[in-house]
Amino acid sequence: MKLLLLNPNTSTDVTHLMMGVGQRAAASGTELVPCTATRGVPYIATRTEAQIGGAIALEMLAERHTKVDAAIIAAFGDPGVFAARETFDIPVVGMAEAAMLTACMAGRRFAIVTFAQALGPWYEECVRDHGLWERCAGIRMLDAPFQAISEVGTEKEDLLVALAQRAIVEDEADVLIFAGAPLSGLAERVADRIPVPVVDQVVAAVKQAEALVALRLRKATAGTFRRPAAKPTIGLADALAARLEHRDS
Amino acid sequence: MKLLLLNPNTSTDVTHLMMGVGQRAAASGTELVPCTATRGVPYIATRTEAQIGGAIALEMLAERHTKVDAAIIAAFGDPGVFAARETFDIPVVGMAEAAMLTACMAGRRFAIVTFAQALGPWYEECVRDHGLWERCAGIRMLDAPFQAISEVGTEKEDLLVALAQRAIVEDEADVLIFAGAPLSGLAERVADRIPVPVVDQVVAAVKQAEALVALRLRKATAGTFRRPAAKPTIGLADALAARLEHRDS
Amino acid sequence: MKLLLLNPNTSTDVTHLMMGVGQRAAASGTELVPCTATRGVPYIATRTEAQIGGAIALEMLAERHTKVDAAIIAAFGDPGVFAARETFDIPVVGMAEAAMLTACMAGRRFAIVTFAQALGPWYEECVRDHGLWERCAGIRMLDAPFQAISEVGTEKEDLLVALAQRAIVEDEADVLIFAGAPLSGLAERVADRIPVPVVDQVVAAVKQAEALVALRLRKATAGTFRRPAAKPTIGLADALAARLEHRDS
Amino acid sequence: MKLLLLNPNTSTDVTHLMMGVGQRAAASGTELVPCTATRGVPYIATRTEAQIGGAIALEMLAERHTKVDAAIIAAFGDPGVFAARETFDIPVVGMAEAAMLTACMAGRRFAIVTFAQALGPWYEECVRDHGLWERCAGIRMLDAPFQAISEVGTEKEDLLVALAQRAIVEDEADVLIFAGAPLSGLAERVADRIPVPVVDQVVAAVKQAEALVALRLRKATAGTFRRPAAKPTIGLADALAARLEHRDS
Amino acid sequence: MKLLLLNPNTSTDVTHLMMGVGQRAAASGTELVPCTATRGVPYIATRTEAQIGGAIALEMLAERHTKVDAAIIAAFGDPGVFAARETFDIPVVGMAEAAMLTACMAGRRFAIVTFAQALGPWYEECVRDHGLWERCAGIRMLDAPFQAISEVGTEKEDLLVALAQRAIVEDEADVLIFAGAPLSGLAERVADRIPVPVVDQVVAAVKQAEALVALRLRKATAGTFRRPAAKPTIGLADALAARLEHRDS
Amino acid sequence: MKLLLLNPNTSTDVTHLMMGVGQRAAASGTELVPCTATRGVPYIATRTEAQIGGAIALEMLAERHTKVDAAIIAAFGDPGVFAARETFDIPVVGMAEAAMLTACMAGRRFAIVTFAQALGPWYEECVRDHGLWERCAGIRMLDAPFQAISEVGTEKEDLLVALAQRAIVEDEADVLIFAGAPLSGLAERVADRIPVPVVDQVVAAVKQAEALVALRLRKATAGTFRRPAAKPTIGLADALAARLEHRDS
């Protein structure tokens, strides 16, 4: 099967990082197809960037959805995931969603640890949007500048581990999630320094996308995720406009 | 004071309709400044259209925010409102938010009545995003095609009143909101046929924007609605890019 | 329009303070009509005082409701507001309710800061009664005696600002409300020392009452806020008894 | 032990009815002391009447609290119960509270069935105030006039049983509560026609008051139910004023 | 009346301790009948032990339920209580349930204080299972080894009081519960060192069981606590198997 | 990898049915190892049977956990799953949990459809225990006797499909789950008659167990799912006793 690893950020280095982690975890027979946003911001971190980045994710999906079996919105925070699930026929999974739902099977409450203060409010809204706030022990963020976005996981490794350890003790977390695309792969490197299970967001997303494909779920034609009726559009990216106007099928 | 009445849809007829209702309700000294999206869809009705429309609303605000005292996102569902509140310095109010919060002062639970089935799931998510689900008695939608979007309130007037009456009896609503920009002004026409207070979404939005200006609220420099730090962008609309990159001040 | 500024406490100094703040914020054409309780306590601070003060507020409204267009229950905690909304035909808004709902349009979570420990539990119940606990970042109270109730806002200004600053940092508040009638006007004086928007309770209440009048809401004849049926009474204040027995219309 | 059966309504017939039911259920050694409001309304049914009736209940308690070991606020809806618990030293239990908490030990969800449409909204707020909404299967009300308030339980017996049966089937209730002082004693008469346990409100209140006395609970001097500090009052009933001003001890 | 005091743990010393406390609080005419598990663990402290202990409690009840008027599951955490209530005809009350529901009548929020770290997560799940988390101020646990389980209340008395005092100040508790069967009787000894009401779990359980018997509640034949239909079993304890197969009646 | 498919019921036919469905969905390299309870009931359907069946599941796991990489509690309702996750070192996933969490990635709200009235209350408690009630559109049950438990899915196929269709229309479900081990495999047979995605519980459980193994999660040594300390036991099954007493490692 082919899984689109859709990075709605413009950082190809981060896409590369996630591809490495994801491909190692994929089942034999699963091919990850990377794509990186060509417009937007290097890494989405605020409500505003998520609003824009989610729309860009839809443009990217509109161009590629027919060529893959499922797609991963590969930014923690899941910009555009509910819209994508509504508009396209293939399964679409958010990286935050995949990590959180998987974490639920490894304990009662998961903690989220990330590398920048700015990400906290957006992540909190993401947890709430998925109805999982009750299962979240808390969100903890580093508060210091970093060098390169794609290497923040290496640069801040010790600080992130320390933050994780505090989340476990002070927030009573049973499971840990390192959140934010640049932290992909960190779980594996530091698992033995953290006394609870650590869920890697990319691995979780790949396995969940594989699960959805294995279930051979049909596209809804009823309920709130049926494809919206055709509607005229003005000034939108070509493939997305075609999809919304039902000119693509 | 000047209030931007920002219609993130492309229907100028609907903008015109809202301007009429809004201007009649405005205080002396309040000037409504209309603007209508030049790209997007005629009327936002789904998660996908809200994702895109919210991003378009940000583009529109980026061009005009320095010329007004506050802005109204004049689409029930409030596409982009939290992002706008974060990124711009002026008060920004959503039309759904204004109607719902106002309705809270007229009863325990408000019902939302609208003209199209497709709007229901999006509106429900909007109510939940504002943390007001507990105050919502229910959402009821007509389920029949209509002629022209800007005249659906006239065409379906009797059916909408009947739906409102059912919401009051069956859902135990204390207050009623006719939701969706094309229904602006309907409240006034049918108030005497509905046995509970009816809140007009445009009137509520204008009065709430006036209230926020009267309070002379400062832009947050702390909390989750402080302006995000500057960040490089690629391929975004000029004014919005300038705002995100802090090249505008 | 005429708005009744109903102080259910017996402190005329505090009424005077609120009148000054409120009148400055009122639209041209809005006249505030003050009234102060002639029985009760100097300032309501507990469940017991709210139970009694709410009943007194109803007596006061029964005497004056026909002479004004709307009424403000001008005590944070809103004693009697739901009962008043049920029994009288004019819009009635609580000062806490107005401040909190307005604050919701300026951020995700508001903090409440007040001048006395005793007020905390009552305020918490008030926030919950309005269904807004999810939007409340927390309630913080000073814990020291003060000189005169009507001047506590001046006497404790620096301590209150410090408490507000802590609420923002430690409770992650986006908006601030100084709560308690004696703190009216404080927002304006200290806004530039507090890094988030500060909502003044009296200004909010005046603007919300103006909004409700502008909406020309009808009195409910259905739902849970319709006027209760006539019922015989014994030993109640004359005007209130007349209202409850439907002898007044 | 002596238990005050405090009827905040003016209907002595209803007090008499409750005394009969309560005394039969009391342990040997428990004496019920009746008192009936001498001002107020025949039966509290709305937010307004509860606001006033709760204040009257406080006046009544202020006159009698030193002569009994505990008190029952003997109106379903519990007017004034939290205020009373705060201001007086003896245990005070609400009749609704007692019935609902007891019902929780007999099933997952209890249904409330009562005799008048007007009572529904007030009862719902009461259930929510006690934090028990999740345990409530629903509230059902008859909707027809009745002859004498103290005999409504006999007059409508068959209709009330039918309503109870519907609540069990349609609302999935595990336990039933006939609510409203005039329905005291109904449980015993109809228990064999209802297929789930039926909790009598007066019996529950008497047994819960006995339990609280048996526990020999001290009056709180910390927490939110410690006695409020002394405060000057104007124009309140003598005994209540003395209690609030700490002139009584 | 006869009340079964069913200790699902194997510690007869703890049964003895609870019998002493319970018998002193029982009404004249109430006889407590003790029974102690003959298989299982000395004291249940985890989800696993509760899963097993709850099944053992059912075996114990199956042997004795016809000889008593009601039963108390005398382990805080209430292993098996919902199952027991479903399968047997007599009232069954959990010790945690009884303590918490009683505490609700003495304040807004109760704190739970116990003697071992391991008990916290199980107790939290118990509070949530009863739908009372909103009424719980927090759970605090000692974190040190102890000598004998039946004497931990004496050994750690001062530490437990100190923990209770912290819960009141830091968690804003109105009522206190010492939780865990070995702490039975502690409330009485230390009540004067704790500034809020302290509910003894055994006393509460005895009084609540007496209340349920006094209400003469019938066994449900509808709702979710009706007796399950007969079903064949393999390898279960004799009396329990007979009960499940309806061979016992 | 080896996955234990643990049926805590005594119906080997149902185990056989699940093995067929599960093995077809398993990745190459995944081997399902079946085991069926040798004591208990044919199919768990009530709180009581879940209490007992969960304890039996622990006994079964104690005997086999070292020989597999992960385990599935293969009864919808997940008896014993939290206890198992606490006590054993391998990942353990419940069949209901797996189905529900997977369904969350295919829509906003899932409906649960099952074959017997008795299962409803237990399933509701299961959904709540997992904190997913907000994501559940409702639970619908057939209400008629059936022939053989392992063939109820075939016998009632049309009725179950009709019930599913009603859940989608009336409960606004986005996703459907046929719940109860005997309905395994039904999803595939009827997917084209149901207009939303249908999640098969066994397929979901197998894929989720594979995902947890792929994540190589460590056993917690902190948090609430660390292995409980050793404790003496009496009269428990040998392997389980050894595990609880730490005699097994």
DSSP E134: G
With beta carbons under 8 A apart, name residues in chain C contacting D229: 118
- Average of per-residue pLDDT values in chain D: 97
Query: Among C51, C117, C236, C248, which would you mutate to test the D interface (most chain D Cβ atoms within 10 Å of its Cβ)?
Result: C51
User: Subunits that touch chain B (at least 3 Cβ pairs < 8 angstroms)?
Assistant: A, C
Answer whether D86 sits within 8 Å of C48, measured CB to CB: yes
Report the residue of chain F nearest A25, measured CA to CA: F214
User: Subunits that touch chain C (at least 3 Cβ pairs < 8 angstroms)?
Assistant: B, D
Q: Which amino acid is at F141?
A: M
With beta carbons under 8 A apart, name residues in chain A contacting F132: 131
Mean pLDDT of E72-83: 98
Interchain contact B/E (3 or more Cβ pairs less than 8 Å): no
Q: Which of B38, B129, B233 sits opposite A235 (nearest CB)?
A: B38
CA distance C148 to chain B (A): 27
Report the residue of chain C nearest B94, measured CA to CA: C105
Report the residue of chain D nearest E133, measured CA to CA: D131
Q: Which domains does chain F have, with CATH numbers?
A: 2-96+205-244 (3.40.50.12500), 107-200 (3.40.50.12500)
DSSP D133: G
**pLDDT tens, B31-53?**
999 999 999 999 999 999 999 99
The pLDDT of residue B144: 87
First to last CA, chain A: 22
Q: Please give the C-alpha separations between residue A84 and each of A226, D33, F105, in angstroms, as whole numbers.
A: 11, 68, 12
Q: Which of C91, C132, C224 sits opposite B108 (nearest CB)?
A: C224
Q: Which of E27, E104, E198 sits opposite D27 (nearest CB)?
A: E27
Answer whether D235 sits within 8 Å of C38, measured CB to CB: yes
Q: Residue C144 pLDDT > 90, yes or no?
A: no
With beta carbons under 8 A apart, name residues in chain A contacting F107: 85, 220, 223-225
Q: Are F241 and F233 in contact (CB under 8 A)?
A: yes
Answer whether D52 sits within 8 Å of C87, measured CB to CB: no
Q: Which of D83, D118, D234 sits opposite C47 (nearest CB)?
A: D83
Secondary structure element (H or E) that encloses residue B162, with its range = helix B157-171
Q: Residue F144 pLDDT > 90, yes or no?
A: no
With beta carbons under 8 A apart, name residues in chain F contacting A212: 102, 105-106
Residue labelled with tokens 């074959």: F115
Question: What are the residues whose beta carbons fall under 8 Å from the beta carbon of A67, sequence distance 6 or more?
Answer: A2, A4, A33
Tokens of E73: 């599951």
The pLDDT of residue E144: 87
Q: Residue C249 pLDDT > 80, yes or no?
A: no
Residue labelled with tokens 């001046």: C154
**pLDDT tens, B98-139?**
999 999 999 999 999 999 999 999 999 999 999 999 999 999
**pLDDT tens, F161-215?**
999 999 999 999 999 999 999 999 999 999 999 999 999 999 999 999 999 999 9
Extended strands (E) in C22-149: 31-36, 70-73, 92-94, 110-114, 136-141
**pLDDT tens, E39-67?**
999 999 999 999 999 999 999 999 999 99
Q: Are C149 and C182 in contact (CB under 8 A)?
A: yes
Can you spell out the DSSP letters for C172-222?
A: --SEEEE-SGGGTTHHHHHGGGSSS-EE-HHHHHHHHHHHHHHTTPPPPSS
The pLDDT of residue A144: 87
Q: Which of C42, C120, C231 sits opposite D232 (nearest CB)?
A: C42
Q: Residue B249 pLDDT > 80, yes or no?
A: no
Q: Residue E224 pLDDT > 80, yes or no?
A: yes
Query: Among F89, F196, F198, which would you mutate to test the A interface (most chain A Cβ atoms within 10 Å of its Cβ)?
Result: F196
CA distance E235 to chain F (A): 5
pLDDT bin (cut points 50, 70, 90) of residue E158 is very high
Report percent pLDDT > 70 for chain F.
100
Report percent pLDDT > 90 for chain C.
97
CA distance C232 to chain D (A): 6
With beta carbons under 8 A apart, name residues in chain C contacting B172: 223-224
Radius of gyration of chain C (CA): 18
**Residue E223, CB half-sphere, CA atoms under 13 Å: how many?**
30
CA distance B37 to chain C (A): 23
The pLDDT of residue A164: 98
Helix axes C119-129, C95-104, angle to 10 degrees: 60
Alpha-carbon span D122 to D118, nearest angstrom: 8
- How many contacts (CB atoms, under 8 Å) link A and F? 166
Extended strands (E) in chain B: 2-7, 31-36, 70-73, 92-94, 110-114, 136-141, 175-178, 198-199
* Across B156-160, D157-161, F149-153, least confident range: F149-153
Question: What are the residues whose beta carbons fall under 8 Å from the beta carbon of E202, sequence distance 6 or more?
Answer: E18, E21, E22, E25, E74, E95, E184, E185
CA distance B224 to chain C (A): 6
Tokens of B159: 């059916």
**pLDDT tens, E18-38?**
999 999 999 999 999 999 999
Answer whether D218 sits within 8 Å of E97, measured CB to CB: no
Q: Residue E176 pLDDT > 80, yes or no?
A: yes
CA distance E48 to chain F (A): 4
Q: Please give the C-alpha separations between residue F103 and each of A83, B92, D115, F89, in angstroms, as whole numbers.
A: 17, 36, 43, 27
pLDDT bin (cut points 50, 70, 90) of residue F100 is very high
- Average of per-residue pLDDT values in chain E: 97
Secondary structure element (H or E) that encloses residue D210, with its range = helix D201-214
Answer whether E47 sits within 8 Å of F86, measured CB to CB: yes
Mean pLDDT of C238-242: 98
pLDDT bin (cut points 50, 70, 90) of residue D207 is very high
Mean pLDDT of F95-111: 98
Q: What is the three-class DSSP state of C1?
A: coil
CA dihedral (E56, E59, E60, E61) positive or negative:
positive
Alpha-carbon span A169 to A187, nearest angstrom: 18
Residue labelled with tokens 């119940």: C125
This model of the complex carries an ipTM of: 0.96
Q: Residue A93 pLDDT > 80, yes or no?
A: yes
Q: Quote the longest CA-to-CA distance of chain A.
A: 55
With beta carbons under 8 A apart, name residues in chain C contacting B107: 85, 220, 223-225
The pLDDT of residue B142: 96
With beta carbons under 8 A apart, name residues in chain C contacting D50: 83
pLDDT bin (cut points 50, 70, 90) of residue A155 is very high
With beta carbons under 8 A apart, name residues in chain B contacting C173: 223
User: Subunits that touch chain F (at least 3 Cβ pairs < 8 angstroms)?
Assistant: A, E
Answer whether D38 sits within 8 Å of C235, measured CB to CB: yes
Secondary structure element (H or E) that encloses residue C242, with its range = helix C238-244
Q: Please give the C-alpha separations between residue C192 and each of A44, A45, A120, B217, C195, in angstroms, as whole numbers.
A: 31, 28, 26, 10, 7
The pLDDT of residue A187: 98
Alpha-carbon span F131 to A133, nearest angstrom: 9
Report percent pLDDT > 70 for chain B.
100
**pLDDT tens, C107-132?**
999 999 999 999 999 999 999 999 99
Q: Which of C48, C83, C232 sits opposite D48 (nearest CB)?
A: C83
DSSP H stretches of helix in chain A: 12-25, 47-64, 81-87, 95-104, 119-129, 152-155, 157-170, 186-190, 201-214, 238-244
